[in-house]
Amino acid sequence: MATELHETIFMAKQERHRNLFLNYKNLNKFPVELLKDEGLQFLERLYMKRNLLTTLPDNLAQKLPNLIELTTVSFVAYCCSSHCLRTFDLQG
């Protein structure tokens, strides 16, 4: 699964995807690769339904400044300071 996840993120960076689907990946930690470099600055929608996340990075809004929709479930709390984030879906 780790290799598939790495390839998915790498491809999204290379092809400048605006949407990234990481649903049902059994993630228990937010993938740090999403925040490395400047490769995903253009990402607008991040779908992470049905994972096992308990936290999200404090610098998520800073590293993904164009993110307008984050869809995830099963985590404790997240405080987003991004004025751009319009949708934050906690429903599974």
pLDDT at 75 over 50: no
Let me know: does 42 contact 16? Beta carbons within 8 Å. yes
pLDDT confidence of residue 53? 85
Predicted TM-score of the model (pTM): 0.78
Q: Does residue 54 sit in helix, strand or coil? A: coil
Q: What is the pLDDT of residues 4-48, one digit of tens each?
A: 999 999 999 999 999 999 999 999 999 999 999 888 999 999 999
Burial 1-29 (b: 16+ CB within 10 A, else e): eeeebeebbeebbeeebeebebeebebee
- Give the separation between CA 55 and CA 13, rounded to whole angstroms: 23
Tokens of 85: 């984030």
Name all domains of the chain by residue range, CATH numbers in brackets: 2-89 (3.80.10.10)
